[in-house]
Structure 1
Amino acid sequence: MSDADPYAHRRGDAVIELTDERGVALSDTDVQVRQLRHAFQFGCTAVDLDADESLRSLWLDLFDTATLPRFYWGRYEPERGRTRRDAVLRLARWYAERGVRLKGHPLVWHTVKPRWLDELPLPEAETLLRGRIRREVRDFAGLVDAWDVINETVIMPRFDNEPDGIANAVTRLAAQKGRVEMVRLAVDEARSVGTASLLVLNDFDLGPEYEHLIEDVLDAGIPIDAIGLQSHMHQGFRGEDGLREICDRFARFGLPLHWTETTLVSGDLMPAEIVDLNDYRVDAWPSTAQGEQRQAAEIVRHYRTLVEHPAVQSITYWGLDDATAWLGAPAGLVRTDGTPKPAYRALHDLIRGEWWLPPQTSRTDQAGRITLAGFAGTYEITTARGRTVAEIRPGASQTVAAMA
């Protein structure tokens, strides 16, 4: 990483060679260049189609990768055999049609799973879980090309928080099989469908237990594609040193790091003595002017630190607006009245400002070439003859052949 440019590893230089349909160079031709998205995945949870159009516009103006938290099994299939497939497909297609990358969340989790599953014999529950994984991956192939394949495996075998006293089927299965075999179950079933899905092992536990699990999973030859790291910072920003320390620890496994769930609050911080964030309950948790300024400053520090780290490939902000925020926290980038907070503007200034190539016009040389330098990503190239798209990779200069 360059001391002068902490983002040098995110940038690329390219020579674009433009030809017509016969392969003849488009010499002395005006060319308009527009960036479409980053190679780095700047993500957020998807906004529903019934949300206000202005909220969807705010989402699209900032992010390029959507997590669809619509696959919690208990909500996706509340009655056995009756899923919400069609509604989720409509949502996925809406984003895909706008060039957004999609990830499904989650395929296996011990929470928000169907109550009817818990009442079944464990072998039958396992059979249904395996089939559920295959079904969702198959049904959304070509739209959803990444999955949080198993969520919070560290705590899974010991999770015990069922209100009606019926033993949790997924917890019982994890206790019987062990963590590594639960990961194998999830990955094997997702891979068996034959798609090229990117599979993320995801957890909020960022300590030694998760590190040991990853070691054991890799030693067992289970092919995961990325390590998911959650950080809901309801009790305060971790700080640059804390983020770097976490990234360095998990980067040793040689897999891309995905910060899959990140939040910063714009109101009072949750008390430090709260161990499980779910245990904090208040009548109201408002966003405040002071908190919004703090959130804006911290989100810039958070994103700069993670984008600087070469192992990080993706950051997902968990909840665009306060109206749908997890635990009712003022953790969104948009207020409940639909207006953007300072944090939205600050993040936009980074992702679509400092780290974004503004639209520009160039003219090809005699060989039909233009040069392009910017953050790695997808670029639209337009001439009077037509339009093409070029992918710029990070690193050394490259030559990209394109027809327009």
Structure 2
Amino acid sequence: MSETSGTLAHRTADAVVTLTLDGAPLAGSEVVVEQTRHRFLFGCTGFDLVGHANGSAADAERAARNAELWEGLFNFATLPFYWGRFEPERGNPDTERLLKAARWFADRGHPVKGHPLAWHTVTADWLLDLDNEEIARAQVDRITREVSGFAGAIDMWDVINEVVIMPIFDKYDNGITRLCRDIGRIPMVRMVFDAAREANPSATLLLNDFDMSAAYECLIEGVLEAGIQIDVLGLQSHMHQGYWGEEKTEAILDRFSRYGLPIHFTETTILSGELMPPHIEDLNDHQVDSWPSTPEGEARQADEIERHYRTLVAHPSVEAITYWGMNDAGMWLGAPGGFVRADGTPKPSYDRLHHLVNDEWGTPPTTLATDADGRVRFTGFLGDYRITAAGRSVDLTLSEPGEAHVEAALTADDH
């Protein structure tokens, strides 16, 4: 990786690794150091790879290429659990297909988050046939089923989504808004978090919202004062109407970091085409026949992606960034917000983020030398590393920032 500035000291370790070979220090030898995984979660939706993971993609060759591009940037996946699509017919959930997809990511070392367990949008229509007590029972049962059934493959969940607007949502009638209006926001949050916590006590549970106003702060404060345990705060950043800029982003981070909880930027979008008009309040209201990516927009997007990621990685409260779609072909609202064009070719933003994640913030295979005592020194982002020398290798993890002293024995390379 390139030289680390002080602003990233919380992300890096200064490693002093003492290497031994057959019990003796490996003195004065060339070694190759490579980072194999970031601790920081560089995430993206994995919706488009569900078919690939199940062997059911319509175009297997293109799906395999998409998977390769995805893994070139990301190490953390979000999979879709929208109730209305996951269980459109009560008692017939899409468990097998999503579980296979989750295991596909997990087997490759990518942690997975499920999104969302409770949300008023894209919820199950059959809830409207139930009274509020029955809706509550169905919601709790649904959470218990998913969180326990997917444990081990998915151990992180957006438990409830967009609670600020939930009881006053008026676009259409739905069971979750009915229930939240009846019992209130904080009892609703308590109900769903209690169910998720009981189903998998070791899971990481998020409260997620797009509302960056004081209303979300009031909700968070009420939830915490009520004694409800929130593991992570989720902040959405769909920038269809223009990049926020560093000042706004940093102000939001400062406001929400005061709760002392880790922050995930859960849903990020930055466009490479025409911006959505500023007068539109609900992004879903912007419906166009065609929304192309443009050369000028792609150059702008690459710059804004870099600025946004640098801002977030520099803030110590941020532990994850999830981009909301890699490919334009599957983007929400049909917007040109992906890193890859609809024809499958990478945009400049792909190359820009690839350089940041894998080169500037990562350690590609780098040749170094041990000293007379078998020690090799390097500075790297927190995460997993492999050191190779003399046909042997050893894996190690840098888990805490600052100076790290590690003793490692090279073994026969089975990789």
TM-score by length of 2: 0.90
In 2, Cα distance between the equivalents of 1:184 and 1:57? 40
CA-CA distance at 1:367 after TM superposition: 5.5
Q: Determine the structure 2 residue equivalent to 1:6.
A: 7
Q: Is the 8 A contact 2:32 2:388 kept in 1?
A: yes
Structure 2, unpaired ranges of 5+: none
For residues 17-32 of structure 1, the aligned pairs below 5 Å read 17-18=18-19, 24-28=23-27, 31-32=31-32
Q: Determine the structure 1 residue equivalent to 2:34.
A: 34
CA-CA distance at 1:380 after TM superposition: 2.2
Match for 1:79: what amino acid? Answer: E
Cα offsets for 1:211-242 (capped at 9, x unmatched): 00111111111111111000110100111101
CA-CA distance at 1:141 after TM superposition: 0.9
In 1, Cα distance between the equivalents of 2:156 and 2:378? 29
Match for 1:65: what amino acid? Answer: F
**Residue in structure 2 matching 1:62, options 42, 53, 73:** 73
Q: Determine the structure 1 residue equivalent to 2:127.
A: 117
Is 1:91 the counterpart of 2:90? The answer is no
Identify the range of structure 1 (357-366 vs 115-124) with the bigger mean alpha-carbon deviation. 357-366
CA-CA distance at 1:393 after TM superposition: 2.7
For residues 233-312 of structure 1, the aligned pairs below 5 Å read 233-312=239-318
Q: Is the 8 A contact 2:44 2:326 kept in 1?
A: yes
Q: Determine the structure 2 residue equivalent to 1:132.
A: 142
TM-score by length of 1: 0.93
In 1, Cα distance between the equivalents of 2:394 and 2:123? 44
**Secondary structure in structure 1 of the residue aligned to 2:35:** strand
In 1, Cα distance between the equivalents of 2:98 and 2:375? 43
CA-CA distance at 1:359 after TM superposition: 0.8
Q: 1:134 to 1:57 in 2, by over 3 A?
A: same
CA-CA distance at 1:384 after TM superposition: 5.2
Q: Determine the structure 1 residue equivalent to 2:227.
A: 221
RMSD: 2.0
Match for 2:127: what amino acid? Answer: L
Is 1:180 the counterpart of 2:191? The answer is no
Q: Determine the structure 2 residue equivalent to 1:53.
A: 64
CA-CA distance at 1:401 after TM superposition: 4.1
Match for 1:225: what amino acid? Answer: D
In 1, Cα distance between the equivalents of 2:273 and 2:323? 17
**Secondary structure in structure 2 of the residue aligned to 1:267:** coil
Q: Is the 8 A contact 2:151 2:200 kept in 1?
A: no
Q: Is the 8 A contact 1:17 1:25 kept in 2?
A: no
Identify the range of structure 1 (94-103 vs 31-40) with the bigger mean alpha-carbon deviation. 31-40
In 2, Cα distance between the equivalents of 1:25 and 1:399? 17
Q: 1:84 to 1:188 in 2, by over 3 A?
A: same
Match for 1:27: what amino acid? Answer: L
Aligned length: 396
Q: Is the 8 A contact 1:130 1:189 kept in 2?
A: yes
**Residue in structure 2 matching 1:359, options 365, 387, 392:** 365
CA-CA distance at 1:374 after TM superposition: 0.6
Q: Is the 8 A contact 2:147 2:200 kept in 1?
A: no
In 1, Cα distance between the equivalents of 2:247 and 2:386? 37
In 2, Cα distance between the equivalents of 1:388 and 1:80? 50
In 2, Cα distance between the equivalents of 1:367 and 1:118? 71
In 2, Cα distance between the equivalents of 1:251 and 1:316? 18
**Residue in structure 2 matching 1:316, options 309, 312, 322:** 322
In 2, Cα distance between the equivalents of 1:216 and 1:388? 48
Determine what percentage of the aligned residue pairs are the same residue.
52
Structure 1, unpaired ranges of 5+: none
**Secondary structure in structure 1 of the residue aligned to 2:44:** strand
Q: 1:133 to 1:293 in 2, by over 3 A?
A: same
Q: Is the 8 A contact 2:268 2:324 kept in 1?
A: yes
Q: Determine the structure 2 residue equivalent to 1:43.
A: 43
